[in-house]
């Protein structure tokens, strides 16, 4: 009963556990410090995240798959901010708009600096200084772009930013494609290994079955030969007995014939 109550309490604790910012911070630092655990082998990431859960004392409270998904979400959010470049809305406030007024900055995501340090994708251009939202009277202003006379076309800086975003997105797509191809190749290799193991196991079973069949056949031959020897032995014994009986009968007949002649 005590063991059952303990199991129920552990299950309830696992269900009620709330993930904290300290856990996220520890996950980011630990993931950056242990890249060697993520070898790309099958189930390697699950085993690695189990190590983190043991170190944090979260075994039974958080599933390794949920932890893996949490890290992938962090990486995805970080890549979204990096893809937009240092000159776009997520890297510095919009023109004339403070962070409190609706502009989104890299600093508005509290895990950006941690992820930037962990993954190592810090931009080469130092981001501009962000003004505190507690000083609404200070606003960042930038000069308006010079009108070129045609409103249907983008200005050169905007064109460069768009081209850069497209290049980064194309590079990410190419990287994802290469990762998928590598993963598919690993799966094919693993499948070939599994098929080879199954084939070896099947051949071993067939060899064992053949050995068993040969053993049974040898036993049957041995038993048949033994039965044939016994049959020959008893047949010879009967024949000898019959010959002896016939010889005795002939002797008795000769003896009776001699007695008859003597009596006459």
The string of pLDDT tens digits covering residues 69-121 is 989 999 888 888 776 554 343 444 443 334 444 444 555 788 888 888 888 64
pLDDT at 120: 61
pLDDT at 81: 77
What is the rounded CA–CA span in Å between residue 157 and residue 97? 20
Residues in the chain: 264
Nearest to 29 by CA among 121, 123, 115: 115
pLDDT at 107: 56
What is the rounded CA–CA span in Å between residue 83 and residue 90? 10
pLDDT at 38: 86
pLDDT at 112: 86
pLDDT at 15: 52
pLDDT at 101: 41
Quickly state the pLDDT bin for 231 (edges 50, 70, 90).
Answer: very high
Quickly state the pLDDT bin for 155 (edges 50, 70, 90).
Answer: low
Distance, first Cα to last Cα, the chain: 115
pLDDT at 174: 85
Q: Which of 59-68, 100-109, 140-149, 239-248 has the lowest mean pLDDT?
A: 140-149
| pLDDT, tens digit (0-9, with 9 covering 90-100), for 42-70 | 888 888 898 999 898 888 888 888 888 98
Whether 152 and 114 have beta carbons less than 8 Å apart is answered as: no
The pLDDT mean for the chain works out to 75
What is the rounded CA–CA span in Å between residue 8 and residue 17? 14
pTM: 0.38
Per-residue pLDDT, averaged over 119-140, amounts to 42
Of residues 51 and 132, more confidently modeled:
51
Question: SS in 3 state form for the chain?
Answer: CHHHHHHHHHHHHHHHCCCCHHHHHHHHHHHHHCHHHCCCCCCHHHHHHHHHHHHHCCCCCCCHHHHHHHHHHHHHHHHHHHHCCCCCCCCCCCCCCCHHHCCCCHHHCCCHHHHHHHHCCCCCCCCCCCCCCCCCCCCCCCCCCCCCCCCCCCCHHHHHHHHHHHHHHHHHHHHHHHHHHHHHHHHHHHHHHHHHHHHHHHHHHHHHHHHHHHHHHHHHHHHHHHHHHHHHHHHHHHHHHHHHHHHHHHHHHHHHHHHHHHHC
What is the rounded CA–CA span in Å between residue 127 and residue 156? 21
What is the rounded CA–CA span in Å between residue 11 and residue 8? 5
Per-residue pLDDT, averaged over 232-260, amounts to 91
Domain positions in the chain are 6-140, 156-264
Of residues 6 and 130, more confidently modeled:
6
What is the rounded CA–CA span in Å between residue 239 and residue 172? 99
Q: How many CA atoms lie within 13 A of 237 on its CB side?
A: 6
């Amino acid at each position: 009963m005590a063991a059952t109550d303990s199991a129920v309490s552990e299950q309830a604790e696992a269900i009620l556990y709330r993930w904290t910012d300290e856990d996220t911070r520890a996950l980011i630092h630990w993931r950056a410090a242990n890249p060697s655990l993520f070898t790309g082998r099958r189930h390697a990431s699950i085993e690695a995240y189990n190590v983190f859960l043991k170190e944090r004392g979260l075994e039974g409270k958080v599933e390794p798959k949920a932890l893996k998904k949490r890290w992938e979400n962090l990486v995805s959010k970080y890549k979204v901010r990096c893809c937009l470049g240092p000159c776009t809305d997520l890297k510095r406030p919009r023109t004339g708009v403070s962070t409190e007024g609706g502009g989104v900055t890299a600093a508005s995501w509290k895990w950006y600096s941690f992820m930037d340090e962990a993954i190592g994708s810090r931009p080469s251009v130092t981001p501009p200084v962000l003004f505190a939202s507690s000083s609404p009277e200070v606003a960042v202003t930038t000069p308006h772009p010079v009108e070129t006379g045609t409103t249907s076309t983008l200005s050169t800086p905007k064109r460069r930013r768009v081209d850069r975003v497209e290049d980064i997105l194309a590079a990410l797509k190419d990287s994802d494609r290469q990762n998928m191809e590598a993963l598919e190749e690993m799966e094919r290799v693993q499948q070939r290994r599994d098929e080879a193991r199954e084939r070896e196991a099947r051949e071993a079973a067939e060899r064992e079955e053949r050995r068993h069949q040969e053993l049974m056949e040898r036993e049957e031959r041995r038993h048949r030969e033994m039965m044939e020897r016994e049959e020959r032995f008893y047949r010879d014994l009967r024949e000898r007995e019959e010959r002896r009986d016939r010889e005795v009968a002939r002797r008795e007949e000769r003896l009776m014939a001699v007695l008859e002649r003597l009596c006459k």
